[in-house]
Structure 1
Amino acid sequence: MRFITANLNGIRSAATKGFFDWLPQQNADALGVQEVKAQDEHVAGVFCTSGPLKGDFHYAQKKGYSGVGLYTRESPSDVIVGLGVQEFDDEGRYIEKRFDKPGRKLSLISCYFPSGSSGEERQQAKFRFLAAMLPHLQALKAEREFILVADVNIAHKEADLKNWKGNLKNSGFLPEERAWMTQLLDSSKSGGGLVDVYRALQPDTTDACYTWWSNRGQAYAKNVGWRLDYHLATPGLAALAQRESIYKDQKFSDHAPLTIDYDFSL
């Protein structure tokens, strides 16, 4: 099962830059996209499918803002749109597809975590989102296996961004955010018990791990990046991960697609 995650920074913009020409060549079984920045009127009949992949979406109420999508080759047994928290469901941040069979409960999820970089008000919203997300994922893990792909908007460790010393007080690398990630990956009773799949496959990679670059200065050219895009999986599925790749040969947005191959079928 090949699962790609990509923050598109606008689905229409990414399309003009060749994303949907590149996608069929990847033979993906699933694709999670974030920051769709569109409504159904822009997506239906245009971007709702790509070859054998069929997309379902959670749009923000505010036009041109946020929004996530999840494309799959196989038809799900159920689709869950929204986290169940009104503040964030209005922003279009969560979609889950379930692929349940006798003896197996499996979900794929695409999620877009808030950014706090625009100011304190949004940083506090980000903290509220994190506070809601941890128990949600803990409860989900108690009943089913899942892989969540997301722009988490957090670089977890020093190896996950170029200028970590200069970003200790900046959103995306705040101590509280990094502690939340640590708790999410903690296997103790109070933790989330999830696995950062890329890091499980590439525990020591530094400069090659980045998936986002600021549009300011020469960040992309100089590879002054951050690792913000994740596959977060329950341990049983994470153990089936075989290969990972970050695609940088073309620039579809300010993020690069992250692909991971798993040894199981939907």
Structure 2
Amino acid sequence: MRVASMNVNGIRAAVRRGFDVWLKDREPDVVGLQEMRCPVDQLPVLDGYHLSYHPGTLAGRNGVAVLTRRPPIAVREGFGNRRFDTEGRYLEVDLEPADGHPGLTVGSLYLPKGDRPTDGPAATAKHRRKLSFMASLRNYLPQARRRAQAAGREFVIMGDFNIAHTALDLRNWRANQKNSGFLPDEREWFGSILGPRTLIDVVRSLHGDRTGPYSWWTWRGKAFDQDTGWRIDYQLATPGLARTAVSGGTDREPDYASRMSDHSPVVVDYQFS
């Protein structure tokens, strides 16, 4: 079972840049998408997939989706937080077992960007808002795992977390220790949702102590060419699913001109006996 996740930074723009070609070539079974930024009536057709979509209420912003080969048996928008659930930041679908694949609950996440709290009141408010979202999501994740387990399904949450967990997850970590996305409280939160009995960072478990593989590079300058990136896109899976992962990483495009987004897809292959 091939599972992929990508912040498309606008699905219509990503398709113009070749996302549909990538999809046809890689043939993932499940794809989580973030920052769709698209009205429902303007969604591009992606042949061979069922699209579950939570556009949110903020025109031109956010929007999360899940593409699946077979139709889901249930779709849920948000995670029970009235403050954030209308923003199109979390979508969850349930899939029945089929074709040798287990039952699966899939969450597609676009976690809010923050700001440096030292940059004034507005930045502090933005950082606190991000922390509030994170705290609420942390409370929800055990419920999601238990619900999936009770139904005989594995669980995976994937998407753009806007956090680099450790120094292995961004190139210039020393210079970014006071910047949003690598602040101590963000990194502590990320570590708190992981555990050998809860959720496994699948790509990190496959790559060990090697740096990267990065998934985001600014459009500006030579960051992409020099691989000066951040690993902020993840697949976090329950242990039973994580143990079946045989390969995974980032589908980094061959050159700057080929980029589909400022993020590249994170792809994991799971092999079942």
Does TM, normalized by the shorter one, top 0.5?
yes
Aligned amino acid, residue 261 of structure 1: D
Q: CA deviation at 1:168?
A: 0.7
SS of residue paired to 2:220: coil
Q: How does 1:142-157 map to 2 (within 5 A)?
A: 142-144=146-148, 145-157=154-166
- Residue identity over aligned pairs, in percent, reads 39
1:61 aligns with 2:68: no
2:47 corresponds in structure 1 to: 51
Q: CA deviation at 1:120?
A: 2.5
The 2-side partners of 1:131 and 1:212 are apart by: 24
Q: 2:202 aligned to 182, 190, 197, which one?
A: 197
Q: Which runs of 4+ in 1 moved over 6 A?
A: none
The 1-side partners of 2:183 and 2:177 are apart by: 6
Number of aligned residues: 255
1:256 corresponds in structure 2 to: 264
1:170 aligns with 2:166: no
1:110 aligns with 2:119: no
Residue deviations 1:245-264, cap 9 Å, x none?
31122310000111101124
Q: CA deviation at 1:86?
A: 1.9
The 1-side partners of 2:141 and 2:126 are apart by: 22
Q: For structure 1, which segment, 81-90 or 196-205, has the greater mean C-alpha deviation from structure 2 after superposition?
A: 81-90
1:246 corresponds in structure 2 to: 250
Aligned amino acid, residue 96 of structure 1: E
The 1-side partners of 2:241 and 2:182 are apart by: 27
Aligned amino acid, residue 20 of structure 1: D
The 1-side partners of 2:76 and 2:272 are apart by: 22
- TM-score, with normalisation over the residues of structure 2? 0.88
2:17 corresponds in structure 1 to: 17
Q: CA deviation at 1:138?
A: 1.2
1:37 aligns with 2:37: yes
- TM-score, with normalisation over the residues of structure 1? 0.91
The 2-side partners of 1:56 and 1:76 are apart by: 8
The 2-side partners of 1:174 and 1:75 are apart by: 39
Q: 1:75 aligned to 61, 71, 74, which one?
A: 71
The 2-side partners of 1:111 and 1:125 are apart by: 16
Structure 1 unmatched ranges of 5 or more: none
Closer, same or farther in 2 for the Cα pair 1:27/1:105, shift >3 Å? closer
8 Å contact 2:196–2:239 — kept in the other structure? no
The 2-side partners of 1:23 and 1:120 are apart by: 39
The 1-side partners of 2:252 and 2:103 are apart by: 34
Closer, same or farther in 2 for the Cα pair 1:59/1:30, shift >3 Å? same
2:27 corresponds in structure 1 to: 27
8 Å contact 2:4–2:265 — kept in the other structure? yes
Q: CA deviation at 1:87?
A: 1.9
Q: How does 1:165-244 map to 2 (within 5 A)?
A: 165-187=174-196, 193-206=198-211, 208-244=212-248
Q: CA deviation at 1:215?
A: 2.3
Structure 2 unmatched ranges of 5 or more: 117-122, 149-153
The 2-side partners of 1:240 and 1:137 are apart by: 21
Residue deviations 1:20-49, cap 9 Å, x none?
122111111011100001121221xx23xx
Residue deviations 1:57-104, cap 9 Å, x none?
111211110110100001211111222212211210111111246xx7
2:82 corresponds in structure 1 to: 86
RMSD value over aligned CA atoms?
1.9
Q: CA deviation at 1:174?
A: 0.4
